[in-house]
Amino acid sequence: MSQIQGASRGYAAWPKDALRIGFGVIWLIDAALKWLPGFRASYMDTIMGEADGQPGWLRPWFHFWITVQHPQAASFAWLVAVVETL
């Protein structure tokens, strides 16, 4: 009886499993891209560029993160790559 239940669970759960695996693959690709030298070289420029087009109520949030990260942008770029990979 337990084999039948396990088999029916496999057929019913495949969309959920496929979505989870697909999301993991996309996350893995994104983490791999974080290790490229171009990401670290343009990290601060990317954040500052994204802040320009934001609505007024989001500007303080972006300004806060730019102020915090700007002195040590390379360290934060490494941290982002490590955390996303883990």
Which candidate, 61, 64, 62, 70, places its Cα nearest to that of 43? 70
Contact (CB, 8 A) for 62 and 47:
yes
Domain boundaries, the chain: 1-28, 35-86
pTM, rounded to two decimals: 0.66
Q: What confidence tens digit (pLDDT) does each residue in 28-52 have?
A: 999 999 999 888 888 899 888 888 8
Contact (CB, 8 A) for 52 and 5:
no
**Residue 37 has which token pair?**
């030298």
Confidence of residue 61 (pLDDT cuts 50, 70, 90): very high
